[in-house]
Amino acid sequence: MNILILGSGGREHTFAWKLSQSDKCQNLFVAPGNSGTTQIATNIPIDVNDFEGIKEIVLKNDITMVVVGPEDPLVNGIHDFFLNDEALKLVNVIGPQKAAAQLEGSKEFAKEFLYRHNIPTAAYESFTKETLDKGYTFLETLKPPYVLKADGLAAGKGVLIIEDINEAKNELKKMLVDSKFGQASTKVVIEEFLSGIELSCFVLTDEDNYKILPTAKDYKRIGEGDTGLNTGGMGAVSPVPFVDDEFMQKVENRVVKPTIEGLKKDNLPYKGFVFIGLIKVGDDPFVIEYNVRMGDPETEVVFPRIQNDLVEIFQAMGDGRLKDIELKVTPKAATTIMLVSGGYPEAYDKGMEINGLDKIEESIPFHAGAQLKEGKVITSGGRVMAITSYGETYKEAIKKSYQNIEKLHFDKMYYRKDIGFDL
Ligand code: AMP
Ligand code: GLY
């Protein structure tokens, strides 16, 4: 079978690494891909939102499975585009259709879904420019800190958590009236603040059945001790040590089942990954957000632990046979540490050569913002590379990653040295 992966990050390199291990995978393509994927697949320089261009690649290369990495093409309706095209409609697209992708594309849509299906989540109300005054009044009914969320996609930057009520009101006005996040903040969701520890739960669904993948925890802040600006993720650990069977049973009964049943009841077709951002408050799970794709860098620790043939899993999803798959997961821990370019998530340089990759032992370097140029691997993004290791415990795995990172170098390389500190 010929397979196309859409995207260019560490997540997509991990998918490629895993899919390429399958006997069922004949030709693997990644669009646009990076320096990691080019070693195991054919990179095709095309944008993930160029649907006509992607159609051409699929037809030319006899591709029958498309795995969508990032959210943008899903929110823009790539799955619907395939279903509505005579020549493409039988291609197995891994990712939900546009209507269901609104779970990530609109915070208000997600909150309404959560409420409609009685899934535990923070209390909220949403506001527009016209209801700004009501927004101020709602803020006054809440206790600090105040959680303000731009309704639409804002590249992970649209959530503000603010201590001071006047500052919160001011930011609300900036979002609604001054378009702080452009189109994304024409609507703002204001939420009750929940205090607890966060984790991510990943679910595969073929619409009728679901499989819960290993849990993971990512580290979103740039600075040690979870300080500083939010990033795409600076490291991840799987499994999450503070999650036990009893808690997972609550997650399954209160969150996963009603989510999958809710998608069906609401007629939201969904073959793909549901990424459920959870917060554990006391001993109870609450949903912070849905994403309609895998997490990055969570993919870099979740998939290395899955022992099944990934092509078989995706085929079963396409055919509605997911219930026949028995998921095999190694009991070993996997951890990843993200190497970033100094300055990220603000301004940073690109084009620096990465040295030492040939010296890595017992870790897997998943390339993210890195490209091959004249035989050299050079940085091309803020998050450059995720160094994944296994261990009997997460501590052992983390140690292995740090030992290997010592051998790597690029100008202004930065990484957090405290991944796992809070576990
Ligand atoms: P989101 O994009 O909705 O996941 O929000 C980004 C981050 O903001 C989350 O990972 C949490 O750390 C934090 N957050 C969002 N909503 C809440 C909430 N209701 N209570 C506490 N923290 C929150
Ligand atoms: N690591 C968080 C995300 O992928 O959204």
Task: Evaluate: CB of 71 within 6 angstroms of ligand 1.
Answer: no
User: Phi and psi at residue 344, in whole multiples of 5°?
Assistant: -55, 140
Q: What is the pLDDT of residues 102-144, one digit of tens each?
A: 999 999 999 999 999 999 999 999 999 999 999 999 999 999 9
Average pLDDT over residues 387-395: 98
Topology (CATH) of 197-324 = D-amino Acid Aminotransferase; Chain A, domain 1 (3.30.470)
Residue 154 is predicted with a pLDDT of 86
Architecture field, domain 123-191: 2-Layer Sandwich (3.30)
Q: Which of 296, 300, 416 is the pocket-test mutation for ligand 2 (most atoms within 8 Å of CB)?
A: 296
* Paired tokens of 311: 């092509």
Number of the ligand 1 atom closest to the C-alpha atom of 193? 20
Instruction: Please tell me the distance between residue 297's alpha carbon and the centre of ligand 2 in angstroms.
Output: 7
Instruction: Please tell me the distance between residue 72's alpha carbon and the centre of ligand 1 in angstroms.
Output: 20
* Paired tokens of 193: 């603040």
Instruction: Please tell me the distance between residue 288's alpha carbon and the centre of ligand 1 in angstroms.
Output: 6
Q: What sign has the CA pseudo-torsion 209, 212, 213, 219?
A: positive
Our CA angle for 259, 83, 211, nearest 5°, is 30
Q: Which of 231, 279, 292 is the pocket-test mutation for ligand 1 (most atoms within 8 Å of CB)?
A: 279
Which of the four pLDDT bands, split at 50, 70 and 90, describes residue 157?
Answer: confident
> In the beta sheet, which residues pair with residue 383?
340
Among protein residues, the one with the nearest Cα to ligand 1's atom 12 is 198
Packing angle between helix 98-105 and helix 107-116, nearest 10 degrees?
100
CATH code of 2-97, in short, is 3.40.50.20
- The binding-site residues of ligand 2, defined as CB within 6 angstroms of any ligand atom, are 218, 232-233, 291, 295-296, 298
Residue 155 is predicted with a pLDDT of 78
**pTM (2 d.p.):** 0.96
Give me the helices (H) in 61-106, please: 72-75, 78-83, 98-105
H/E stretch holding 390 reads strand 383-391
Number of the ligand 2 atom closest to the C-alpha atom of 297? 1
Per domain, the residue ranges of the chain are: 2-97, 123-191, 197-324, 333-414
Q: What is the pLDDT of residues 210-230, one digit of tens each?
A: 999 999 999 999 999 999 988
* Paired tokens of 78: 């790539």
Spatial neighbors of 45 by CB under 8 A, at least 6 apart, are 31, 32
Neighbours of 69 (CB within 10 A): 29
Please tell me the number of the ligand nearest to residue 192's CA.
1
Residue 422 is predicted with a pLDDT of 87
Neighbours of 12 (CB within 10 A): 31
Q: What CATH superfamily is the domain 333-414?
A: Phosphoribosylglycinamide synthetase, C-terminal domain (3.90.600.10)
Distance between CA atoms of residues 236 and 298, nearest Å:
6
Distance between CA atoms of residues 79 and 95, nearest Å:
7
Task: Evaluate: CB of 53 within 6 angstroms of ligand 1.
Answer: no
Q: What is the pLDDT of residues 230-250, one digit of tens each?
A: 899 999 999 999 999 999 999
Among protein residues, the one with the nearest Cα to ligand 2's atom 2 is 295
Residue 230 is predicted with a pLDDT of 87
